[in-house]
Amino acid sequence: MSRHVVRLCDLADMPEGSSRGFSLAAAGVRDDIFLVRTQAGLFGYRNSCPHTGGPLDWVPDQFLNLDGSFIQCATHAALFRIEDGLCVSGPCAGRWLDAVAVDVTGEQVTVTVEGSGGQ
């Protein structure tokens, strides 16, 4: 297995209260993830609802409920805590989103992808 650091964006591209999706294709791995930035920090998750396996956003980069206090699944309105991905309301209550470790170095936001081959 090899490890590849993938640059997602600049931190300035993720203002507080925002969310943004990314499609990764590195090291033979394809994955859809999203980031949410709050006053508490920057959080990353796989873009897959634990109930249906479908994507959480109904419009690109729209992962939050109307007041921005929870991640919301567009399919069935399940609500997930931003800070840890726990579902607190909906058909998958008690289940978790798959967290993705996000690194911020200087102004660059990156993730590390483990894969088996080239791009």
Closest by CA to 38, choosing from 59, 57, 15, is 15
Domain ranges of the chain: 2-115
Average pLDDT score over residue span 6-26 = 93
Q: Identify the pLDDT of residue 116.
A: 57
Q: How far apart are alpha carbons 39 and 58 in whole angstroms? A: 24
The helix, strand and coil proportions of the chain, stated in percent and rounded to the nearest 5, come to 5, 45, 50
pLDDT tens by residue, 56-110: 998 999 999 999 999 999 999 999 999 999 999 999 999 999 999 999 999 999 9
> Quick one: fold of 2-115?
Rieske Iron-sulfur Protein (2.102.10)
Is residue 1's pLDDT more than 90?
no
Q: Is 29 exposed, middle or buried (0-12, 13-18, 19+ CB in 10 A)?
A: middle
Give the pTM: 0.90
